[in-house]
Each structure stands twice: as C-alpha cells, then as structure tokens.
Structure 1
C-alpha cells in the first residue's frame, strides 16, 4: 500500500469517526493545515470546518458507514477513487468520486467530491 493510498484511507476513516477528539486526530493526520474539502453542498476549509461537515453528515444520515469502493488511482500529486456511504442493509445512500490533490508533505490539500448517487426525496 502506498503512503498516498494510506492517506486516502485515513481520510475515509474520518467519516466513520463519531468521537470529535479522535476524528480531529485523524483529520490532522490525513489533511494539510490549509486543506479544503469541496462538495456540491459545502466548501470546508481547515480542520475545524472539515470536522464540522463530517459531524453534519453523520447527524443527517445516522447509522451509515463510509467506505472506499475502488482502488486509488494515482498520478503525480493527484488521486481519484470512488466511495459510498452505506446504510445498515449495505445499500448506498450516497456514492461518488473524489479527486484529491496532495500537499508537498503527502497529506491532502484538497478533495473535490462529485456525487454519482444522492438520496431521492422520501428515500430515507
């Protein structure tokens, strides 16, 4: 496993961590200090905003598990991979593709999320 794949997996783990302090440890490990997460509904810049966004999603979609669903495809300082947020039955509530840019220290500088699947009205 490459160091960059490990960074991606640590980042995915942050989405499953409900303990704020432990999530912050994971975020600091995965993200550069000036890291930014871009998604259709949010631009989160810095550790606090990234953690707050994760907490928001965990509250909105309880009892879900995030997982990486593809290998990590690497090219220089960039990566791409697919992911899904699974409900207790194993069905994807949300799924998408993340495009990552790494900082010079190997941590994430930017992650841009593009959804493949979002919940339909009345589905949850």
Structure 2
C-alpha cells in the first residue's frame, strides 16, 4: 500500500470511528489548517469544519448499521481521486458510492477535498 493509499484509508476509516477524540486527532494529523472540504450541499472550512462534516456523516450512517470503505485510489503528482462506498456493517452491496478529488500540501496534508456522489442511498435521496 502506498503512502497516499494509507492516508486515504485512514481518512475514510475516520468517518466510521466511534471515538470523537480519535476522529479529531486523525483530522488534525491528516489535514492542513487552512483546509476545505466541499460536497454538493455545503462547504466546510478548517479542521473544525472537517470534523463537523465527518461527525454528521458518522451520525447519519454508523448508528444505522453502515460503514465506509475505500473502493479505489488513483494518484497524480498533485491530486488524488478515490472512490468510496457506504456498506452495511454486516456485509453486502454498497448502498451509496462517491468519488473524492483531494489535493495535498508540501507536507503531505490534505488541503482541498471535493466530493461527488455517484449513487445515492434511497433514504438519503431527499
């Protein structure tokens, strides 16, 4: 596994991490201070914003029996595109999928993350 793949795996695992302190620690270690995460509905700024986005996703999926996993990682010199899946914790087919495009700073921390939803979970389609 490459360093970039390890970062992506750790970040995606953070979305399902039950311990809020571990989520906060991972975000601080993986993200630059001036970071931005955006999806189709909201732009989250700074590490506190990233934590807010991760916590919202955790609360919307994990207590309902879903987890997150990385499906694919592609990297260039300056950006990473990865695909993720929301899957039943007990196993089964993905109920939601998406693609992220992430850029990194010179220290290897995430700076910008742009999310695109590829397949929406039925109860999240509103």
Q: TM-score, normalised by structure 2?
A: 0.86
SS at match of 2:122: coil
Q: Name 2:109's counterpart in structure 1.
A: 107
- How far apart are residue 46 of structure 1 and its match? 1.3
Q: Name 2:32's counterpart in structure 1.
A: 32
SS at match of 2:12: helix
SS at match of 1:105: coil
- How far apart are residue 3 of structure 1 and its match? 2.0
Q: CA RMSD in A?
A: 1.8
- How far apart are residue 75 of structure 1 and its match? 0.8
CA distance 1:52–1:120, change in 2 (3 Å): same
For structure 1, which runs of at least 5 residues remain unmatched after alignment?
none
CA distance 1:24–1:121, change in 2 (3 Å): closer
- How far apart are residue 25 of structure 1 and its match? 0.8
CA distance 1:18–1:42, change in 2 (3 Å): farther
Q: Name 1:97's counterpart in structure 2.
A: 99
For structure 2, which runs of at least 5 residues remain unmatched after alignment?
none
Q: How many angstroms apart in 1 are the aligned matches of 2:74 and 2:114?
A: 15
Q: Give CA deviations for 1:47-98 in whole Å, capped at 9, x if unaligned.
A: 111111111122222321110011x211111011111011234232321111
Question: Retained in 2: the 8 A contact 1:40–1:114?
Answer: yes
Give the 4+ runs in structure 1 shifted more than 4 A: none
Q: TM-score, normalised by structure 1?
A: 0.88
Task: State the aligned residue count.
Answer: 122
Q: How many angstroms apart in 2 are the aligned matches of 1:27 and 1:79?
A: 17
1:1-124 equivalences in 2 (<5 Å): 1-61=1-61, 62=63, 63-70=65-72, 72-88=73-89, 89-121=91-123
